[in-house]
A and B are shown apart, each in its own frame.
Chain A
Amino acid sequence: MYDIIVVGAGPAGMTAAIYARRAARSVLVLEAVNYGGQILNTPDIENYPVEAHISGYDFSTKVYEQAKDLGAEFVFEKVVEIRSEEDKKTVITPKNTYTAKAVILATGSENRKLGLDDEDRLVGRGVSYCATCDGNFYRNKVVAVVGGGNTALEDALYLSDLAKQVYLIHRRDSFRGEETNAARLKEKENVEIIYNANVTKLISEKRLKAIEVTDKLNGNVRTIELNGLFIAVGRIPENRNFADLIKLDDAGYVIAGEDCHTNIDGIFVAGDNRTKMLRQLVTATGDGAVAATEAVKYINNK
C-alpha cells in the first residue's frame, strides 16, 4: 500500500508528489498518457515566477524530474474508478488495482466539444481546439473561431495575423472576455463577428470544407466555406469517473475550499478540476502543495 496516490501528472499533481516525498511519504502518480497535462500546449510561459520564458514542455519536464529524483513513482495508466473504505482507498485502472492511505485528485480538464457529427473524425483535418498550436497551418486561409470567452477572443486575434479571413461565431450578443480584446478584434479588417449564432453542422469530405451557422434569433442558416474551425467553448473538468463518490458542482468541478478537502475523508483535490476563482499554473502548483500537506496531516492523525 502507498501512503499517497496522486491521480494526474500535471503541474498540480506533480507538485503534490514533491511535497509528499519531502514529507517522506511513499507516492504513486498515475496518469493516462504522459506527464505534463494541459501546460504542454503552451509554447511560452511568461507568468510563472523565476523564469521570464519557459516552454510548457520544459517546465513540466523539470517538475517531473524533480518529483522522480525525490522518489515519486510514475505509472502511465488511466484511473477509471476510486473506492473509499475507512482505512484504505482503492484506485483502479484497466490494468491494475492500487491502494493508498490517501488520494489526491489532480485530473485537470479537457476541451469542451461542440458535440457535432464528425467532430472527432475531423480533429487534425480542419477542426482544432488550439489556435497557438495549429494556427500556422492556416496561413492565408479562411478560418472560424467559435466561442465568446477570453480564449476565443485571443484565438481570433492570433489567427487574424495569419489567416486571410477570420469569422468569430458567438452565441450571445456581447462578449464575456476582456473588453480590450473585443475592441481590437472589431478593428481588424479581416475579422467578421457573427453574434447570436451557433455552429450547427460540419460539412466535410476527407477534411472540413464548410460549416453551417444558424442564427438563434431568426433561425436563418448560413453556410461558410472555410479551411479550419477553432473551437474555444471552454473546458470540462475530468471528474466524471469519480462522480459517484465525490461531490461535484453543476459544472462538474470537485467542491472544495482552499484546504483542498473533498466530501470524503482522505481524498483531496488539487488544480483545475477544483472549484476555484483562478485557474492558472501558479494556482495549480499552489493547490498541489496544500493538498499534499493536508494528505500527510490526515495520515499522521490516523
Chain B
Amino acid sequence: MTIVEVNKDNFEDEVLKSDIPVLADFNAEWCGPCRSMKPMLEEMAKTNPGYKIVSIDIDAEDELAEDYDVSSIPCLVAFRDGEEVNRSVGLISRDAIAELMEG
C-alpha cells in the first residue's frame, strides 16, 4: 500500500471505519522532522499490509488537528476500531513507529 492522503471529508471512512488498524501521520510541509520521517513511513506502508498509514496535512486540515488535540508535529496517532490506542510526538525511529502499532 501507499500512504493515503486524508482530509476531513474522508477521515471517517479511511480512519474511523477502517477494517484494519490505521497509523495517522499529522504533518506539514514546513516541518523538518515530519519530512525526515516520511521515507520511513512510505517504506513501512509498502511492507506492512497489516495496517494502513494515512497522512494529514495540519495546515489544510486544522479542524482534524484540533479534534484530535494535535499541538505539536510530527504526531503519529494509532487507531484501532475507530479508537485512538497510541500516540507519539516528535521524530522517532522505525522500530518505535512499529511499536506504536503493536501496543
Contacts and interface: CB of A to CB of B under 8 A. Distances in A.
Interface of A: 32-36, 39-43, 55-57, 60, 76, 123-126, 128, 130, 133-134, 136-138, 206-207, 228
Interface string B32-51: 11011100100000000000
Contacts of B31: 43, 133
B71 A42 contact: no
A42 B70 contact: no
A34 B94 CA distance: 9
B40 to A, nearest CB: 8
B69 A36 contact: no
Contact of B93 (A32, A124, A128): A32
B72 A124 contact: yes
Contacts of B87: 124
Given A40-B91, A137-B71, 16 more contacts: A34-B40, A36-B32, A40-B32, A40-B33, A41-B32, A55-B30, A76-B94, A123-B90, A124-B72, A124-B75, A130-B72, A134-B73, A137-B65, A138-B71, A207-B69, A207-B71
A33 B93 contact: yes
Name the 10 nearest CB pairs between A and B, nearest first.
Answer: A124-B89, A40-B32, A124-B72, A57-B32, A137-B71, A57-B35, A134-B72, A56-B32, A33-B93, A43-B30
Interface centre among B36, B70, B72 (most CB of A within 10 A): B72
Contact of B37 (A34, A42, A56, A228): A34
A228 B72 CA distance: 11
Nearest to B38: A57
B92 interface: yes
Contact of A34 (B36, B59, B70, B75): B36
Contacts of B40: 34
A258 to B, nearest CB: 29
Contact of A33 (B59, B69, B91): B91
Contact of B71 (A35, A40, A128): A128
A137 B72 contact: yes
Contacts of A130: 72
Contacts of B93: 32-34, 76
Interface centre among A32, A33, A42, A134 (most CB of B within 10 A): A33
Contacts of A76: 93-94
Contacts of A207: 69, 71
Contacts of B35: 57
Contacts of B75: 124
A125 B32 CA distance: 20
Given A41-B32, A42-B32, A137-B65, A128 B72 contact: yes
B70 A124 contact: yes
A41 B89 CA distance: 14
A36 B36 contact: yes
Contacts of A126: 71
Contact of A57 (B36, B65, B72): B36
Contacts of B30: 43, 55
B37 A133 contact: no
A225 B70 CA distance: 19
Interface centre among A57, A123, A228 (most CB of B within 10 A): A57
A48 to B, nearest CB: 15
A228 B91 contact: no
B69 A55 contact: no
B18 to A, nearest CB: 23
Nearest to A208: B71
A176 B72 CA distance: 28
A128 to B, nearest CB: 5
A138 B32 CA distance: 19
11 contacts: A33-B93, A34-B36, A34-B91, A40-B36, A123-B90, A124-B72, A124-B87, A124-B90, A137-B71, A138-B71, A206-B69
